[in-house]
Amino acid sequence: QVHLVESGGGVVQPGRSLRLSCAASGFILTNYGMHWVRQAPGKGLEWVAVMSYDGGTQYYADSVKGRFTISRDNSKRTLYLQLNSLRAEDTAVYYCCREVQDAFDLWGQGTVVTVSS
């Protein structure tokens, strides 16, 4: 079966770090661009970051640039999002998703990040 499973969310204090993981199964991770998308409580979807299929390029939303890093471990079939210098406004459900023809065709169930003192 083809799916994505996120993990690593939790409660963290402002200024601290967290690493989210997204385990892929049923497909070859390196064949696809992979993205992170988040949804803050009561808010809409916000695109966060992308890693190209070959891992050669990464792009970020202005709101996270310089603080978040997207990466991938091909041997573990896992996508990561390193979240540094966390702020209250980073509180959200974080989803990883697969890109096909410039759309997100496969999504994980999400992992919750809460930034609070």
What's the DSSP call for residue 2?
Answer: -
Per CB under 8 A, contacts with another protein among 41-60 are 44-47, 50, 57, 59-60
Which of 54, 61, 1 minimizes the C-alpha distance to 37?
A: 61
- Residue 74 CB: number of other CB atoms within 10 A? 10
Pair type for strands 111-115 and 10-12: parallel
Nearer to another protein, 16 or 43 (CB): 43
Q: By CB under 8 A, is residue 108 in contact with another protein?
A: yes
Q: How far is the CB of 75 from another protein (least distance, A)?
A: 26
**Interacting residues with another protein (CB under 8 A):** 35, 37, 44-47, 50, 57, 59-63, 95, 97, 100-105, 107-110
